[in-house]
Structure 1
């Protein structure tokens, strides 16, 4: 199956953003960790492990592992529900927001470069 021009441009943008983040001092996040972090940032709170697992259609253990890493990095924090101590809420942090702000800026910069450069040739 051959990729169309839009797919090639989208993949090249993602490649350039990924290369930029790999070259930075920012931590390398897995796709799952990034999806969890973006969901916590972009979707309305409150967030729970169960809710994140449902939203991303993955198991709760996978979400817990992603949250463990994101918590260690200071990108999210867990807080017990004051009304029901069995529930744990996942909350944004300033550090996590700053990471996503940087990522968003990198994407916009890369998109601007895509619009400024001539169309990529589609490989056959």
Structure 2
């Protein structure tokens, strides 16, 4: 069963590479997903703690994701010393496309399992 899941994940990643989108590291992808899929506000310190990495590691990943337009830094209006990490439309669009690759591959896997299921 795990071989099927890994094969489908491989197909998802191959589709992602072929899409021409920027290659993100696992760390960058995990950071992006944390910001989009977990409630905020998100800070560098909080994201570093969630990932179990240092703040400089998160800062480097944020620099890349920010340059791509996937995330942005926002100053806290209540306390201008604080910086929050926020979503962008570009990042949402990227994740929507990546999610579509996963959905497509999951549908193919389910169809194959149904074809090979005992009657």
Q: TM-score, normalised by structure 2?
A: 0.91
SS in 2 for 1:91: strand
How has the CA–CA distance of structure 1 residues 88 and 14 changed in structure 2, closer, same or farther, with 3 Å as cutoff? same
Identify the residue that residue 111 of structure 1 maps to in structure 2.
Answer: 106
Identify the residue that residue 87 of structure 1 maps to in structure 2.
Answer: 82
Shift of 1:8: 1.1
Shift of 1:118: 5.4
Q: TM-score, normalised by structure 1?
A: 0.87
The structure with higher relative contact order (CA 8 Å, sep 6+) is 1
Shift of 1:97: 0.4
Shift of 1:12: 1.0
SS in 1 for 2:79: coil
- Residues 1:63 and 2:67 aligned together: no
What are the ranges of 5 or more consecutive residues in structure 2 without an aligned counterpart? 115-119
Aligned length: 114
4+ long deviations beyond 6 Å: none
Superposed CA RMSD in Å reads: 1.3
Q: Greater share of helix residues, 1 or 2?
A: 2
What are the ranges of 5 or more consecutive residues in structure 1 without an aligned counterpart? 120-124
SS in 1 for 2:22: coil
Identify the residue that residue 96 of structure 2 maps to in structure 1.
Answer: 101
SS in 2 for 1:54: helix
Residue 31 of structure 2, aligned match among 26, 29, 36: 36
